[in-house]
Amino acid sequence: MSYVRGLYPPAHCSPPFGNCSVGNADIEPLIVVHNMLLAHGKAVKLYRERFQSKQGGSIGLVVQSHMYEPLRDVESDRQAVNRALAFTGGWVLDPLVFGDYPPEMRQYHRSELPRFSSEETEYMKGSIDFIGLNHYSTLYAKDCIHSPCVLGGDHFIRGFTFTTGERDGTLIGEPTGVERFYVVPRGMEKIVDHVSKRYNNMPIYVTENGYCPPLTEAAPNLLHDVNRVHFYNGYLAALARAIRKGADVRGYFAWSLMDNFEWAGGYSSTFGLYYVDRLTMNRTPKLSAKWFQHFLANRSSARFNRQRSVNPTPKSRRVRKSKYIVIATTNANATDV
């Protein structure tokens, strides 16, 4: 957003990604991420040497990543999926776990991609205790090495991969109020499974996951947010499947508790479980807030006004895959929702 598309400060970019007065979208992001990683590695080294023995703290780093699926049923698009994952989360996580950038990046970037010195590699490798994962959606990936592409997919900063939410005129999932954030619950299971396998089942925290309704949605629907309930139900069920398969997921954070200031989207993007009246600042729980309360209490029914028991019913079962987290799977019918 800052060095490829130039939409956030310092607004650096270059065609075809944007029209800025300064910037090189193919090179500058590589330098920026490299410096950020070095700063992280030095901070972790300092903490572990001087403070961790007394404080017992742990340090992780959060990455934002879509999941990707092949646009076409061909091997080149399956390889494009691997590159898309490497050029997003892998770009940041591989150096912190293995000490160097993903081989998928080294293969194509060569001299442009910065290198770590032997000393830097030593303190970079293993410099996270857990992985934070922000995940919202899934996109299709198309190979741009052997096929023509548009919108920058043929640039190495994009991994020679074109990503889209549409195939043959059909969207990959229901659209939301954020561009390219389609509702694709299966992607949660896939991305957690991918991160778990690539990084030796390192502990994972899902640090952001949530739903923003289309910006045209009327105010009453913002409170009766059935689509957000469906979103959380679907994505949490997918997360539970990943845990059952062995992923060491330690926690999950819904984005967000209340409607808030969403970067360049301001107050128009409403991710909250609570509606905020910007004139009075009153906070009103939406339907999803009540659903989430019952979910956390392991209640199987969404009949909020009648259901008071916190005991599991035959419709619900508790899945204990880790001593750190309990996921309740519910089978509420459509009438309940």
Q: Are 321 and 201 in contact (CB under 8 A)?
A: no
**Measured distance CA(150)–CA(120) in Å, rounded:** 37
Alpha helices for the chain (secondary structure H) = 28-50, 52-55, 75-85, 91-98, 103-109, 118-124, 186-198, 219-223, 226-244, 287-296
Q: Are strands 166-167 and 170-171 parallel, antiparallel or unpaired?
A: antiparallel
Cβ neighbours of residue 325 closer than 8 Å, sequence gap 6 or more? 243, 249, 250, 251, 252
**Measured distance CA(252)–CA(177) in Å, rounded:** 22
Tokens 């994009």 label which residue? 158
**Measured distance CA(287)–CA(293) in Å, rounded:** 10
The residue annotated as part of the active site, out of 104, 120, 208, 262, is 208
| DSSP codes joined into one string, 275-318 | EE-TTT--EEE-HHHHHHHHHHTT-----TTT----S--TTEEE
**Measured distance CA(327)–CA(260) in Å, rounded:** 27
Q: Are 44 and 127 in contact (CB under 8 A)?
A: yes
Q: Are 286 and 275 in contact (CB under 8 A)?
A: yes
Tokens 């330690």 label which residue? 250
Rg (CA), the chain: 21
Helix or strand run (H / E) with residue 320: strand 316-322
| 208 has catalytic annotation | yes
At residue 231's C-alpha, the angle toward residues 229 and 237, to 5°, is 100
Which residues are catalytic, by number? Answer: 208
